[in-house]
Amino acid sequence: MVLSFGLTYYLCIFAELLFPTYASLKAIQSPGKLDDTQWLTYWVVYAFISTFESVGAIVLQWIPLYYEIKLLFVLWMIAPQTQGARKIYEDHIMPMLKKYGDKIDPIFSRAEQALESQYVNHLAKYVDKHGPAVLDQALAQAQKHGTVVAGMAQAAYQEQLKKAASGTPSGSFTAPAAPASGFH
């Protein structure tokens, strides 16, 4: 039975985004790690597939019954009985990451450093313009809510204070080093 384009499209959104998001939230709250691994694996596979899908969207839209096929594929990936996402990860993604991880890591490391450097430079300009008291208030709010940015901002702020004490202009400091990562 062929479903209408609109219905199939929205069923795909439900199956590939809404249900996995809800299941991931439930997995975070559960004490076990098995469901965490299942949904993290799904999201890794989903990211790879979405990347390729967005690149090939012009071609994919012309494939007859594309969304029906996609819906069946997504259901196969999320069903606990089939463990499709795990199979794709173990058979295709992990071998690729093992093979090319040494080449991929530096690319993401440089991108992360560039983003952190931009963040720190903007932070320094903000502190220069508005004063450290405003930053202290923002850091207090971020830490109160437990955001990841609070740690980065705190490290950057401490670095700025060190540079200011040594006479280095505040806009010239660099971000703290990013943690090493790898797929080996």
Going by C-alpha positions, the residue among 69, 90, 52 that lies closest to residue 15 is 69
Domain boundaries, the chain: 5-82, 102-172
- Tens digits of per-residue pLDDT, 100-157? 989 988 888 888 888 777 777 777 787 788 887 877 787 777 777 666 666 666 666 6
Amino acid at 98: K
Query: Would you give the end-to-end CA distance of the chain in angstroms?
Result: 45
Going by C-alpha positions, the residue among 39, 131, 136 that lies closest to residue 80 is 39
Alpha carbon of residue 58 to chain centroid: 25
Which residue is it, tokens 């903000």?
Answer: 126
Q: Has this prediction a pTM greater than 0.75? A: no
